[in-house]
Each structure stands twice: as C-alpha cells, then as structure tokens.
Structure 1
Amino acid sequence: MTTLELVKKVVKTLDDKKAEDIQVIRVGDLTILGEYFIIADGTNSTHVKSLVDEVEYQTKQVGKTPTRIERDTSANWIILDYTDVVVHVFYKEAREFYDLERLWKDGEQISVSELLEETKD
C-alpha cells in the first residue's frame, strides 16, 4: 500500500464514521515528522475514540498499524503515527486551541472531496 493509498483509506474511514472538518496537509517538504497530516474532529470524546478505533481497525485490515499512538487522558486529541501519515483526531475545542492548520499553513492542502471521489468503487 502506497502512502497516498493509506491517506485515502484513513480519509474514507473518517468520513464514513462522520468525522467533522477533515483536512489533509502534505507536509513532507517542511518536516521529517511525516509526509501527510490528516486532521479531523469528533463531536465528543466518545466520538473521538470511536473514530480512532475505526481507523486503527480499517488500517490493520490492510496490513498497516501505527508505529505510535499518543492520547491525552481526556481523549481531546489522539494521534496515530503511521510514519509517513500522521492522523490527528481532536475534540473540536482542542482542535481550535492547538490550531495545527495554522502551524502547518505552508503545507499543501489536499482536496478531501477529490480523495473521497477516488475511493468510490
């Protein structure tokens, strides 16, 4: 599975589970932390946890497991690190506070709607 295929798989999974405001930023030219950041938010801590659980499950089905998982105790922000793809799932208020999109504004915004269109059968 290529890096872009993994991005598409994660985006589709998040969309299917009703994640809000999904953003994909290509940051590979800016950092060694990864090639893509995927940022999304859930409506509450339970939704955030279920989004992360489903991403983990779906990626495991295609042989990809995160090399690292970071979570705060309140499930306001959970990070799944797949090395080249880093998935950030936030509770909305935490996302607004940390504002990763502003921090990585020099990265290339990737169209989520185009990625989702490419995943249709």
Structure 2
Amino acid sequence: MNNDIIRLVAKIVESIDDKLGQDIVVLDLNGVSTLCDYFVITSTSSTRQVKAIVDEVEGKLMEEGISISHKEGYDTGKWVLLDYRDVVVHVFHKEDREFYNIEGIWKDATIINIDKIIDDNI
C-alpha cells in the first residue's frame, strides 16, 4: 500500500465524516481495476448535504495542496464524483446510491476498515 494514497483516503474520509456523510465505504480496487486504487463512497438524504460534503472534501484537500483532476455532477447534487487520480470519491443522494449500487458492481474489491485508516493516518 502506498502510504501517501492511504493518507489521502484518510483525509477524505475524515472530511466526509466532519460533514456527517452516512455509510462511508472505502473500496480497494488494486488488482481489480486500473481505473484508480480506491473508491470512497458516501451518501446523505439531501442534495444540499451532498454539496456540503463535496465542498468540505475539496476545501480540506486544497489546503493540503492536493488538486482535483475531474469533478462531475455538482450542479444536480444527486451524485457527485471527485477524481483525485488514485482515489475517486462518490457522494450520493441516498436514493441514487441505492439505485446505482456501486458496492455491488465492484463486489470483487476489498472493503477497507475506515476506522483503522483514520487511526493510523490522522
């Protein structure tokens, strides 16, 4: 595991948690996909909260000098994707998360213990 990437994942998870993101899941895609190394997935029950989580993640990472590669979906606030190259963040409205079932699509990925990531890296 690349420690810099794990620290990035920890910062993302902490930022999501600070804005009360629900059901945070980290999927390890190493060996499963060449798309990225990790997905961080969360959801909430309002589009306003989706945007608040996205703003928090972007702001905290910008403070660290980490810039986003690509962003999609912010205008709708139903499913926002933040691409940080090695880590892709999915912030969903609860209903959209259930509909798209990212965890089910990537069922071969390993689910990472987020408590351990935060304890070891923050």
The alignment's TM-score, normalised by the length of structure 1, stands at 0.93
Shift of 1:116: 2.6
One-letter amino acid of the structure 2 residue matched with residue 23 of structure 1: V
SS in 2 for 1:64: coil
Question: Does residue 108 of structure 2 align to residue 106 of structure 1?
Answer: yes
SS in 2 for 1:2: helix
Aligned to 1:85: 87
Structure 2 portions without partners, runs of 5+: none
Distance 1:117 1:5 in 2: 11
SS in 2 for 1:114: helix
Distance 1:48 1:36 in 2: 20
Structure 1 portions without partners, runs of 5+: none
Aligned to 1:9: 11
Shift of 1:75: 1.1
Aligned to 1:117: 119
One-letter amino acid of the structure 2 residue matched with residue 54 of structure 1: E
Distance 1:45 1:119 in 2: 30
Distance 1:82 1:28 in 2: 15
One-letter amino acid of the structure 2 residue matched with residue 14 of structure 1: I
One-letter amino acid of the structure 2 residue matched with residue 37 of structure 1: F
| Structure 1 residue corresponding to 2:20, chosen from 18, 23, 34 | 18
Question: Does residue 71 of structure 2 align to residue 69 of structure 1?
Answer: yes
Shift of 1:62: 0.8
Which string of whole-angstrom CA distances, capped at 9 and with x for unpartnered residues, describes residues 52-108 of structure 1? 000000001111111000116421100000000000000000000000000111001
The alignment's TM-score, normalised by the length of structure 2, stands at 0.93
Identity, in percent, stands at 38
Verify the 8 A CA contact 2:10 2:117 in the aligned structure 1. Answer: yes
Aligned to 1:48: 50
Coordinate RMSD, CA, aligned: 1.4
Runs of 4+ in structure 1 over 4 Å off: none
